[in-house]
Amino acid sequence: MGFKLIIGNALQLPLALLKLNCGAPLWSPFCAANFVNSALPTSVLRSALPFSQREFRDALGQFATGVTIITARSAEGHAVGTTVSSFNAVSLAPALVLWSLGQHANSLPVFRHSTHYAIHVLSSAQKPLAELFARKGVDRFLHTAHHDSEHGVPLLEGCTAVFECRNLRQHEEGDHLLFIGEVDRCEHHADRTPLLYHAGHMHSHGIQK
């Protein structure tokens, strides 16, 4: 395809370092931290791994996810947005979500300093939109239907769900920056089929082998 999505499965691991109280029962689907309950000795973690980064990425790719676009607006008023698959629920009360962005992403400074951002869960009809927001050097909003939230954040139309978030907390881990968002407002449309991401490809009509 010529574009690259951000794989989020490995990035669930640093949640243990955040020491968040997810407020959900043990093994609840609403607490991504449940995936990191088995701690390894530091000596094991620091030893040479018996697999390459490519093998690790390919293995993570077997975990199917949805596809999101995260949007915000810079202090100068410029709209920014990027395609991300590293999105998880963290807590129901308070309503917290998590996503991550690579440390070298062009849009990172805007998201780092924005007070608010929006997370859009894409529908199966929005594969072209996901591809557009994954490209560089294009005006992603020029022909994209959207309107501004009360905080000036661009809100995309036609999504299966939208979460308007306050930029609550950030945590650097590895080559990514983790964002914890406190949800101020959310909406969803159960009649819209979600876009899926699996093994490096997006799927509009279920995962095809």
Domain extent, residue 197, equals 10-203
Write down the pTM of the prediction: 0.76
Higher-pLDDT residue of 91 and 26 is 91
From residue 151, alpha-carbon distances to 140, 141, 184 in Å are 20, 17, 11
- Give the lowest-confidence range in 18-32, 110-124, 146-160, 187-201: 18-32
Evaluate whether residue 75 is within a structural domain: yes
pLDDT-wise least confident of 30-34, 87-91, 151-155 = 30-34
Whether 149 is in a domain gets the answer: yes
Give the mean pLDDT of 131-156: 96
All residues at 6 or more sequence positions from 61 whose CB lies less than 8 Å from its CB, including other chains: 7, 198, 199, 200
- Residue 7's pLDDT is 40
In a domain, 3, yes or no: no
**By the 8 A CB rule, do 194 and 160 touch?**
yes
| 4, part of any domain | no
Which CA distances in Å does 145 have to 107, 126, 139, 142, 163? 20, 12, 13, 8, 17
Domain assignment present for residue 2? The answer is no
Which CATH number do you get for residue 198?
2.30.110.10
Is 186 part of a structural domain of the chain? Answer: yes
Number of domains in the chain: 1
| Percent of the chain residues past pLDDT 90, beyond the cut | 64
pLDDT at 33 over 80: no
Range from 2-6, 38-42, 180-184 that averages highest in pLDDT: 180-184
- The answer to whether position 1 is within a domain reads no
Pairing mode, strands 87-91 and 201-203: unpaired
How does pLDDT run across 108-140, given as a tens digit for each residue?
999 999 999 999 999 999 999 999 999 998 999
pLDDT of residue 148: 98
**Is 5 within the bounds of a domain?**
no
pLDDT at position 6 over 50: no
Is the confidence at residue 100, as pLDDT, over 90? yes
pLDDT tens string 39-95: 555 555 556 789 898 998 889 888 889 999 999 999 999 999 999 999 999 999 999
